[in-house]
Amino acid sequence: MFIGHFGLGLAGKAAAPRASLGTWFAAVQLLDLLWPVFLLLGLEHVRIAPGITRLTPLDFYDYPITHSLLGAVVWSVVFAALYGLLRPSARWGLAGLLGLGVLSHWVLDLLVHRPDLPLLPHGPYVGLGLWNVPAVALPLELALYLGGAALYLRRTRPRQLGGGAAGRWAIWLLLLALPGFWIAAALGPPPPGVRTLAWGGLMIWLFVAWAGWCDRRREPRPP
């Protein structure tokens, strides 16, 4: 799951606009934002095993810190607490919604992963395996993304003062770049090594920053 997570971030921004789109993207992708860091530190591990599923060549055999259910719950609480503490003007209810956004990542991954998602750091392992059913997994992920994008575009508009052309067009570039990245990863060859995979995974941080920049040039539509 990749753009499906961003779809929930877009929907979250539409429903709770006081947090920026960049913050929502950071929440729903937090587990995958941290995962490459732990790979590079040698604290989590993955194998490149072409054919292990029909849609991804990655064998996620050891990622208890970021992708166990327990780990996801802990990161959800940490994210919500940090947001509440760093943004004292925001309501804690919004912090809680962002925490649920973090947890949503694990729930969506549950749908597509084979049984390699640990409930506790070292099992038991679960996963519904939709990556082996592309006819279901791909339309589902695309529907989540398009639904979230439609909600965001319906609830926001270019900022009337100071938004400029960037407020109108930058978000469209972002919304097209995300599925482009997704398609390139799905159709391209397997990564040549784990370190290359990890450094490539860190590119998700660029989408978070890009989303925050775009969102500052947009504003909620009047009721």
CA angle in degrees (0–180, nearest 5) for 133-139-142 = 130
Element (H or E) spanning 9, and its range? helix 3-15
Instruction: Please give the model's pTM, rounded to 2 decimal places.
Output: 0.94
Tokens of 135: 């006819």
Strand 117-118 with 58-62, pairing: unpaired
| Cβ–Cβ under 8 Å, residues 6 and 207 | yes
pLDDT in tens, 24-58: 999 999 999 999 999 999 999 999 999 999 999 99
Rounded CA-CA distance 216/223 in Å is 20
Element (H or E) spanning 196, and its range? helix 194-201
| Cβ–Cβ under 8 Å, residues 181 and 32 | no
Q: Is the pLDDT of residue 223 over 80?
A: no
pLDDT in tens, 124-151: 999 999 999 999 999 999 999 999 999 9
pLDDT at residue 162, rounded to an integer: 62
Q: Which of 182, 204, 188 is nearest to 2 (CA)?
A: 182
Q: Which of 131, 154, 151, 172 is nearest to 49 (CA)?
A: 131
pLDDT at residue 1, rounded to an integer: 83
Residues with Cβ within 8 Å of residue 206, at least 6 apart in sequence: none
